[in-house]
């Protein structure tokens, strides 16, 4: 019976911890928004340093506020790309590399075979 109580306590405490993180994040983002409206760069950077390692929140509103705070603090645009876009970009670049390796093989076979990337492509083209 004690084991059941221990398991319940652990489960409830982790749930409470997750809720506390959301509350803390919302509070920090609220402070950052206020600091942005007051042009308080020191506070903006302080808050941004606290949230910079946090993953973007699944809530679109919080995610947008996080990006805004980080952008204001570090004067960079926070760019995220969906995984489908990344896969498409990688595929396009890989096709271009394969094409370049084939042209290199025709024009300078020794150089193409000495190139690690091209050699890997040739070995995988079975």
Q: How do residues 55-89 score in pLDDT, each as one tens digit?
A: 877 778 888 888 899 988 887 655 555 677 778 88
**113 vs 8, residue with greater confidence:** 113
Tell me the average pLDDT of the chain: 81
Residues 6+ apart with CB under 8 A from 79: none
Q: Please give the Cα distance from 122 to 7 (Å, whole number).
A: 55
pTM of the model: 0.47
Please state the domain extents for the chain: 2-74, 83-124
Q: Please give the Cα distance from 125 to 45 (Å, whole number).
A: 50
């Amino acid at each position: 019976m004690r084991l059941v109580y221990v398991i319940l306590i652990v489960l409830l405490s982790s749930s409470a911890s997750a809720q506390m993180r959301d509350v803390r994040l919302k509070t920090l983002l609220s402070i950052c928004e206020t600091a942005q409206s007051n042009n308080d760069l020191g506070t903006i950077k302080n808050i941004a340093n606290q949230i910079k390692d946090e993953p973007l929140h699944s809530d679109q509103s919080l995610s947008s506020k996080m990006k805004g705070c980080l952008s204001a603090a570090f004067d960079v645009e926070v760019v995220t790309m969906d995984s489908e876009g990344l896969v498409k970009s990688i595929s396009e670049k890989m096709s271009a590399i394969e094409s370049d390796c084939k042209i290199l093989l025709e024009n300078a076979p020794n150089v193409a075979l000495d190139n690690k990337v091209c050699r890997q492509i040739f070995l995988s083209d079975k």
